[in-house]
Amino acid sequence: MNPITVLILLILALGVLFVYRRLPAAQRGAFRLRALIALALFGLAFLALTHRLYLLGALFALLVPFLRHLLPWLIRSLPFLARWYQRRQQRRGPSGGQRSKVAADIVAMELDHDTGAMTGQVLSGPFAGRDLADLQQQEFIELLQYCRQTDTDSARLLESYLDKRFGDSWRADDPNGHSDDHTPPSDNGSLSDAEAYDILGLEPGADRDAIVQAHRRLMQKLHPDHGGSAYLAARINAARAHLLASK
């Protein structure tokens, strides 16, 4: 392989790594899968162009003795693996299309438990009545400035949406810098039962086990250590604490 080819491959690898590091944690799994598929296709194309496809046949021939011993073990293990996967799914519990709802004075958000997709709407102020998905990036910045001047919780909530949708790229257009996401929500101690159930995506009257499971499922997606939002994590923790206190 000549030095120019090596240099091109190195630049491509660095570019992929740069894009990967800027992605939100929730999008990295899909990106890794796409990158692996692209790498496999690139490898096949490279072998074809350099007339080295015979190497695949040689590799397969080397693996045949191992496959002959591995295949019976895999067949015997399938029932065990199926039961293990089923138990794992039962422990995690299906979300059943549950959606969490978090509202502040200016904006409201919904999070789909299955996909992790976040949607939202402007409730008041500039762009009132519009879906967040329809706003342009500069309109987001204008709305964010208004939220920071009017309602801190709305600003935290909107920043969480922007991080989920754009990663860190929107911060380059933010003239004042983002606010301190570690500041707790201002109404943490005044959640109503209805608000707490909405945040966890549960029906009123859900039992203790359902509350704990919904909390765990959401924290797996939204905990700051997993690339989530400290503000939303605080709201989820507050909702869990509020509901369990009455059980």
The pLDDT, as a whole number, for residue 150 is 94
pLDDT, tens digit, for every residue of 70-128?
A: 666 666 666 666 665 555 554 555 455 678 899 999 999 998 877 778 899 999 998 99
**What's the pTM value of the predicted model, to 2 decimals?**
0.56
Cα–Cα dist 220/233, whole Å: 10
227-242 residue pLDDT tens: 678 888 899 999 999 9
Domain ranges of the chain: 3-92, 99-245
Displacement of CA 95 from its chain's centroid (Å) = 16
pLDDT of residue 188: 45
Q: Regarding the domain delimited by 99-245, which CATH topology (the fold level of the hierarchy) does it fall under?
A: Helix Hairpins (1.10.287)
**b/e map of 207-237 (b: 16 or more CB within 10 Å)?**
eeebbebbbebbbebbbbeebbbbbbbbbbb
- CA dist 129 and 134 (Å) reads 11
Instruction: Tell me how far apart the alpha carbons of residues 105 and 63 are, in angstroms, rounded to a whole number.
Output: 62
Residue carrying the six token digits 């630049």: 11
